[in-house]
Structure 1
Amino acid sequence: MTQRIIGIMGALPEEITGVIELLKDKEEYRIGKRTYYKGTINDQQVVVVYSRIGKVAASATVSTLILKFNITELIFTGVAGGISNHLKIGDIVIGSELVQHDMDAYPLFPTFEIPLIGKSHFKSANDLIQQANESIQHIFDQNYLHHVISSDDLEQFHIHQPSLHIGLIASGDQFFRDQTQKDHLLELLPETLCVEMEGAAVAQVCYEFGIPFVIIRTISDEADQHSTIDFTRFTEKISNIYSIEIIKHIIK
């Protein structure tokens, strides 16, 4: 019987530091200029790593998790820019599907379709979506949220009643910084909830290797000229705490 080993990824150190601190019996492995942390969380074998930013970095990292550490499933956690008007800073999005918004080999292949694969959208595993859903709903209970994040930090980012959304995440090697970019993307992919730079690439690699995955993103900004200016503080004080609590409750 195959041993269950969960891979846990984030793009930035600040997004994943708290999860690394949860590890027991931690071992470190240096491969391809990345440090992989192997250990247990709640007696479950896990490997934790941050990939750096972008689709290539994320693809290389998840490939190593699969081929070198033999992970059987993957959880990616980090921040994203909100595209949907229904999202606010501090909300969480679970990607039910992921698409690379900067993939365009038309007219050789349909826009967004990955050449020679015949797919543009990659679906997260239903059971992992459900586990993440239950974990996040527990965290968003007001008594619990204020127990793990200070009122000052919540107030700084105007986080009062954060909510969970499940839907399409779009990934690409591009930082969204104005309303024109958002409007253009919504014309092409109107169901998009948020944008980031790694998730769909990770999803494609997991699909090709048959690895169940789920992508979980905390909304750090509105992907326009009003984006939050204290990004580092947000990742350390909000999204990092979210990641710690989500992982603790998913892995039981």
Structure 2
Amino acid sequence: MKIAIVTAMPEETGAVLQGAHQKKKGMVNGRHTCRCSITGHEIMLVEAGMGLLNAGWAATLAAEDKPDLIISAGFGGGVVAGLSVGEVVMAEQVLQWDGTGFEEVAVGFYGRNSAADAMALPRGCFITGDGILRKDELASHLTNANKPVVEMETAAVARVAAGNGIPFLGIRAISDAWDEELSFSINEFCDDTMRIRPAKVLATILKRPSIIPQLIRLARNSKAAAASLGKAMERLLKQI
């Protein structure tokens, strides 16, 4: 099968590619790409950078390759109690948060998410926002969402997939639990292309050293999420 995978950050890319063979890396418009083979599938991975705009661009590039499936893979945050750090969730619903409410994204899920059932993975509602969102605010607006997960790219990738008639899957490993409200803005760490820049991270830490314990905790949690994501992606690609 020919599969396109969109990630946002190097840590997510590394997790997805840990079982890859015959890697051929490239750059397109400053973004990393990799063509490879994983469990016999022909893979095209695009590391988009964070946010809806980057994810939409990456998914559009991937769609031009005419894949049989597009996967949005990465980390996410739990919104309500019930998901722990390192747990992996597959999307059964995709919402986009516009600052005041949710818009449901029409998604053509691959196999009606039979892969999630075969892998005994929980299904959840992915909530995409173009920045770090307060989980308590999101939770106050949710009614019947199952295992909500907040992230920054899925809605854009799902829209491009649906627009091109390509089946879609979303998979996220939890890197911050529901009771971890992030005390910084992603813009403080990123350049204009929504890519994390070490110099900006350092400048923010120097201005607000109180965030250091949270950054250390998030780094540890992201490592756990990456390990879980890598294992889940390998199982998923063997299953489909």
Distance 1:92 1:248, change over 3 A: closer
Letter matched to residue 241 of structure 1? A
- Counterpart of 2:69 in structure 1 is 73
Q: 1:19 to 1:169 in 2, by over 3 A?
A: closer
Code of the residue aligned with 1:49 in structure 2: it is V
Residue 185 (structure 1) aligns with: 141
Tell me the TM-score normalised to structure 2 length.
0.75
- Deviations along 1:95-127, whole A, 9 cap, x unmatched? 1110111177xxxxxx645xxxxxx33335252
User: Matched residues in 2 for 1:44 and 1:28: separation?
Assistant: 17
In the other structure, the counterpart of 2:29 is: 32
State which of 22, 45, 69 in structure 2 corresponds to 1:48: 45
User: Is 1:240 matched up with 2:218?
Assistant: no
Gaps in structure 1 of 5+ consecutive residues = 105-110, 114-119, 138-163
2:133 to 173, 176, 180: 176
CA distance in 1, matches of 2:170, 2:43: 16
Code of the residue aligned with 2:118 in structure 1: it is: E
| 2:157 alignment partner in structure 1 | 202
Contact 2:89 2:124 in 1 (8 A): yes
Does the residue aligned with 1:89 lie in a helix, a strand or coil?
A: coil
TM-superposed CA distance for 1:213, in Å, is 0.9
Amino acid of the residue matched to residue 81 of structure 2? N
1:145 aligned partner: none
Q: Which residue of 2 aligns with 1:152?
A: none
- Structure-2 separation of matches of 1:37 and 1:43: 15
Runs (5+) with no aligned partner, structure 2: 183-213
Matched residue of 1:242: which SS? helix
Deviates more, 1:10-19 or 1:95-104: 95-104
- Residues paired across the two proteins, number: 205
What's the counterpart of residue 90 of structure 1? 86
Q: Which SS does the other structure have where 1:53 is aligned?
A: coil
TM normalised by structure 1 equals 0.72
Find out whether 1:99 has 2:120 as its counterpart. Answer: no
Q: 1:125 maps to which residue?
A: 109
Letter in 2 for 1:211: I
- 8 Å CA contact 2:90, 2:170 repeated in 1: yes
User: Structure 2 CA distance, aligned partners of 1:9 and 1:41?
Assistant: 15
Measure, in 1, the Cα distance between the counterparts of 2:87 and 2:108. Answer: 19
AA paired with 1:86?
G
Determine helix, strand or coil for the equivalent of 1:123: coil
Calculate percent identity across the aligned residue pairs.
26
Higher relative contact order by CA 8 Å / sep ≥ 6: 1 or 2?
A: 1
